[in-house]
Amino acid sequence: MHNNKQMTLSAPFSGAVITLTQIPDPVFANGAMGDGVAIDPLDDVLHAPCAGVIINVARTRHAINLRADNGSEWLLHVGIDSVELEGEGFQALVKEGQRVTEGQPLLRIDLDYVARHSRTLISPLILLNSDRFTLSLARTSGSINVGEPLLTMTPVARQEQDSPSSDIRARQVRGSIRVAHTGGLHARPAALVRQTARQFSSHVELHFAGASASTDSVTGLMGLGIAEQDEVEVVCLGHDSEVALQALLKALSTPSPDEKLSTPVTADLPRTEHAEREPGVMIGVTASPGLASGPLFRLDTIELGDDPGGHRPDEQRQIFTEALAQVRADISGSLDHQNHEQSAIFATHLAMLEDPALLGIAHDAIDQGHSAGHAWSEAVLRQCAVLENLDNPLLAERANDLRDLRQRMLLSLLGDARDVEVPPGAIVVARELTPSDLLMLAECGVGGICMADGGATSHVAILARGQGLPCVVALGATLLDVAIGQEVVLDADNGRLEISPDEARLRGIQGLRSQRFEQRQRQQQHAHLPALTQDGVNIDIAANVASRADAENAQLNGADGVGLLRTEFLFVDRSTAPTEDEQRAAYQAVLDAMDAKPVIIRTIDVGGDKQLEYLPLPAEANPVLGLRGIRLGQARPELLDQQLRALLRVTPLARCRILLPMITEVSELLAVRGRIDELAQALGLTERPQLGVMIEVPSAALMAEQLAEHADFLSIGTNDLSQYTLAMDRDHAGLAARVDALHPALLRLIAMTCDAAHGKGRWVGVCGALASDPLATAVLIGLGVRELSVSPPNVAQIKAQVRELDTRHCQTLAHHVLNLSGAEAVREACRTFQTQVVAQKNIA
């Protein structure tokens, strides 16, 4: 909304009003950041001074940038030098991209802590685009209550801004410089220039070859076609034009350290070697085993039909703004989980989403009656054409970043109405799918999935295994160049995608598939019988589930119980927290689906790579090392209490076992046990459910003896245990091949856990992905694991595997592999062991 009307801002805090010049910091006091005011706060919540969109939440959560509906941009900065607190004492209540209403709480502040650890609590409220508005304070001293009028702003008339005699014009400065960025001003350097310019209130433009672009617009800057060593002119206009000019000249003439970013980040050495050895074969990482052949289908191509026009602009603007906020929030949320290189690329995408040139075209198209989707599509394609027509291959390549954003926005705009017709049996290729994409594809009956990025222990991979859908990840960006419609073979057992199989190979695959089908039929016939080893030891083969439907599937597949119910999956795609009753009903449904079998229900494990819409967590520098699992229960005890109460109300309670995620020490377990006692007492219960802990961080494995003393059982989460032991992100595409739970370091931790638990008379299960890997069955049994919780479709196969083993031979194998040098050596030893088992069976 850009109009000439005044707009009032309300006080974001109650407290004393402090004028700009009185702020005890020269950067704020001399107006270098922009005009504004400050409050010395009395209350611990920062409220939105007006309606608008959150454009940035500082990583350290001490400041928020808000764009008001009249285009003014505000820095809401709590305290001075509070950035040094590194987020301690601040809790963000909103996310980037989120729309807020006036008075909405934005930040919660531990006033006591911040006051004691920083210079002052005085909190400036600064107008960043001060050249576009004048401010008039409602009061210049005394105290104010939150929500009371604080100031009014009036847009500066255009003529005044442009007038050569105005104060601003008098401060216009210019300078020239050669661009030092490799490849010229492509997307990331352009985003860097934009970011530099945004630190100042001056308006900045680059002039080159008779054209000019505002630094606000990344695509505008890219569209200038500036190559490395081209000389550009920088023009700055505003209060701080001198400092801005110096900063911009520096930013343009200093090559950024990550110019190598233009190369794909997913390749790793072993894959490249294999790929060279076998032409026509791409090697990735198995996320879900299996074999399939079929036509290749690319999911993420969205075609828009013709737009008849005549849409209501106000309605479409609203839809457009919401979609934009959602995409921004999605991208911002994913930045935390990316490595430095990837996040640099996606930070550029975020800048592109704010690009006034793109937004301008889209808004114009909406005003002409086009739908939000067509308007955005038109804006992106027009900018793509500009980049592609420049005689600069690197810039032309960057058009793909824009197409990526077109795709994301259209997905958001079209929502469930996305009309994807995936041929049944197709092998679907994508850069990276979301869990909901995967579930949709499984419903369409696709043959398999392959992704350029992604990790083998990601939740997409977990869901793929749950669906029994062959899936290979981390195949590299060249996957996206393979022609659609081509018949391919996806040999997910070996992480291979064969892109040009001949007729004989395709026929061979059909033969293999029918052989496997028959073997599976045989296994399925015995799936409901117990899994006894050759020497008569019973191994429970339970299932990992996420819903009642999964539990029904597990029951059909012969699971001996539920070894892990990931409760967080019950509550995704919701905008409000589930009530206690809703939770109880969900848990009861899983119990009911499992007849008389035990069900292990894990308390909510969000944070890390799992986020819930209704539970916005503050941004963290290292989310997987932050507030996740049981730590969230400590920080938000009311959430944990509600879940525990819901669990205590299921019947029969004897079949329900509670499992705690991310335990690192005994006190966490004891606290929950104590709380369960109190809640059970309040509910009048005499019975208590069994209580177990996840062993998924190295400290838990090392403390297994002490934990086993107080826990009823231990359940090893090999997905996180691999991540934290090997110091490798479980979702890192480039490392996916190396995040292998058969690493001897992991096996030693498992051995330590089993020994400690047995010493205390407790049993140990494995519920991470390693349990579903038939190659690992013998080792795990040899180490002393007595329950394997696997994906429902794998129950019959793992039971069949167990029946071929003798625990004494497994122990010998386990003893041997503990001393091997790495995961590959362990896999090799397991393969040899398996061959011997099969050979002995054939002799018998």
Residues designated catalytic: 459, 767
Q: Say whether residue 466 binds ligand PEP (CB under 6 A).
A: no
370 within 8 A of 309, measured Cβ to Cβ = yes
Q: By CB under 6 A, is residue 453 in contact with ligand PEP?
A: no
Nearer to Mg ion, 717 or 784 (CB): 717
CB of 698 to ligand PEP, least distance (A): 13
Kindly state the smallest distance separating residue 430's Cβ from ligand PEP, in Å. 22
Give the shortest CB-668-to-ligand PEP separation in angstroms: 16
Which residue in 77, 349, 566, 657 binds ligand PEP (CB under 6 A)? Answer: 566
Q: Which stretch binds ligand PEP (CB under 6 A): 157-165, 208-216, 235-243, 712-720?
A: 712-720
Question: Is the bond preceding 652 in cis, omega lying within 30 degrees of 0?
Answer: yes
| DSSP summary character for residue 80 | B
Q: How far is the CB of 91 from Mg ion (least distance, A)?
A: 24
Count of residues in contact with ligand PEP, rule CB under 6 A:
10
Residues 577-606 that bind ligand PEP (CB under 6 A): 605
- Based on the shown chain and the rule CB under 6 A, indicate whether residue 567 belongs to the binding site for ligand PEP: no
- Kindly tell me which of 218 and 767 has the beta carbon lying closer to ligand PEP: 767
* Three-state secondary-structure class, residue 242: helix
Using the rule CB under 6 A, is 10 a contact of ligand PEP? no
* Contact call for residue 668 and ligand PEP (CB under 6 A): no
Residue placing its CB nearer to Mg ion in the complex, 216 or 720: 720
When the beta carbons of 453 and 720 are compared against Mg ion, the nearer one is 720
For residues 497 and 509, what is the distance between their CA atoms, to the nearest angstrom? 13
Among residues 228, 355, 453, 696, which is the contact residue for ligand PEP, using CB under 6 A? 696
Q: Where are the beta strands (DSSP E) in 156-189?
A: 172-178
**Could you tell me which stretch among 33-41, 596-604, 688-696, 819-827 binds Mg ion (CB under 5 A)?**
688-696
Choice between 202 and 458, CB closer to ligand PEP: 458
Give the closest residue to 606 by CA, choosing from 586, 580, 632.
Answer: 632
CB of 717 to Mg ion, least distance (A): 4
Would you list the DSSP string of 62-118? SEEEEEETTS-EEEEE-SBSGGGGTTTTEEE-S-TT-EE-TT-EEEEE-HHHHHHHS
Q: What is d(CA 490, CA 10) in angstroms, rounded to the nearest whole number?
A: 60
Closer residue to Mg ion (CB): 35 or 550: 550
Neighbours of 102 (CB within 10 A): 16
Question: How is 329-354 classified by DSSP, letter by letter?
Answer: HHHHHHHTTS-HHHHHHHHHHHHHHT
> Does 767 participate in binding ligand PEP (rule CB under 6 A)?
yes
Instruction: Return the SS3 of 785.
Output: coil
- Answer for which of 447, 768, 784, 792 binds ligand PEP (CB under 6 A) is 768
Residue 311 contact among ligand PEP, Mg ion, none, beta carbon within 5 to 8 Å by kind: none
Strand-pairing partners, residue 455, are: none
Distance in angstroms (rounded) separating the CA atoms of residues 374 and 304: 7
Alpha-carbon span 447 to 702, nearest angstrom:
42
Q: Determine the residue with CB nearest Mg ion.
A: 720
Paired residues of 643 in beta bridges:
none
CA separation for the pair 25, 22 (Å, rounded): 8
**478 and 288 in contact (C-beta within 8 Å)?**
no
Query: What DSSP line would sit under 556-615, residue for residue?
Result: HTT-SSEEEEEGGGGGTT-SSPPPHHHHHHHHHHHHHHTTTS-EEEEPP--BTTB--TTS
Q: Is the distance from CB of 575 to CB of 616 less than 8 angstroms?
A: no
**Helix/strand/coil for 430:** strand
Residue type, 158: R
Q: Write the DSSP symbol of residue 156.
A: P
User: Of 307-315, 404-412, 482-490, 690-698, which segment contacts Mg ion by CB under 5 A?
Assistant: 690-698
Tell me if 819 sits within 8 A of 542, measured CB to CB: no
- CB of residue 830 vs ligand PEP: minimum separation in angstroms? 19
* Residue 696 found at the interface with Mg ion (CB under 5 A): yes
Under the criterion CB under 6 A, does residue 550 sit at the interface with ligand PEP?
no
Q: Which stretch in 12-20, 114-122, 190-198, 715-723 sits in contact with Mg ion by CB under 5 A? A: 715-723
**474's tokens:** 């981390």
- C-alpha 200/C-alpha 215 separation (Å) is 11
Which one of 378, 720, 729, 773 is in contact with ligand PEP (CB under 6 A)?
A: 720
What minimum distance in Å lies between the beta carbon of 704 and ligand PEP? 16
| Size of residue set near Mg ion by CB under 5 A | 3
Q: How far apart are CA 782 and CA 702, in angstroms?
A: 19
Cα–Cα distance for residue pair 799/784, rounded to 1 Å: 16
Task: Report how far apart the first and last C-alpha atoms of the chain are (Å, whole number).
Answer: 82
Q: Out of ligand PEP, Mg ion, none, which partner does residue 566 contact, by CB within 5 to 8 A per kind?
A: ligand PEP
Q: Between residues 311 and 743, which has the closer beta carbon with respect to ligand PEP?
A: 743
Which residue lies nearer to Mg ion by CB, 130 or 725?
Answer: 725
Residue 604 CB, shortest distance to Mg ion, in Å, is 12
Nearest distance from C-beta of residue 413 to ligand PEP, angstroms: 31
Q: Which secondary-structure segment (H or E) carries 757? A: helix 744-759
Q: What is the CA radius of gyration of the chain?
A: 30
Helices (H), 49-181: 111-117, 158-162, 167-170
Least spacing, CB of residue 696 vs Mg ion, in Å: 5
**With CB under 6 A as the contact rule, which of the stretches 45-53, 522-530, 551-559, 713-721 interacts with ligand PEP?**
713-721
Binding part of the chain for ligand PEP, among 42-50, 117-125, 330-338, 718-726 by CB under 6 A, reads: 718-726
Element holding 276 (H helix, E strand): helix 269-277
Phi then psi for residue 581, to 5 deg, are -65, -40
Q: In whole angstroms, how close is the CB of 743 to Mg ion at the nearest point? A: 17
Q: Does 720 bind Mg ion (CB under 5 A)?
A: yes
Q: Toward ligand PEP, which CB reaches closer, 73 or 605? A: 605
List beta partners, residue 584.
none
Q: How far apart are CA 212 and CA 223, in angstroms?
A: 9
Q: Choosing among ligand PEP, Mg ion, none, which partner's interface includes residue 95 (Cβ < 5 to 8 Å by kind)?
A: none
CB of 522 to ligand PEP, least distance (A): 29
- Closest to Mg ion by CB, 412 vs 544, is 544
Interaction of residue 719 with ligand PEP, rule CB under 6 A: yes
Give whichever of 336 and 720 is closer to ligand PEP, judged by the CB atom. 720
Task: Check: CB of residue 570 under 8 Å from CB of residue 627.
Answer: no
For position 717 contacting Mg ion by CB under 5 A, the verdict is: yes
446 versus 694: smaller Cβ distance to ligand PEP: 694
* Binding segment toward ligand PEP, per CB under 6 A, in 108-116, 213-221, 309-317, 714-722: 714-722
∠ CA 806-811-816, rounded to 5°:
130
What secondary structure letter does DSSP report for 9? E
With contacts defined by CB under 6 A, name the span among 180-188, 402-410, 680-688, 717-725 that binds ligand PEP: 717-725
Tell me which residues touch Mg ion (CB under 5 A). 696, 717, 720
Tell me which residues touch ligand PEP (CB under 6 A). 564, 566, 605, 696, 717-720, 767-768
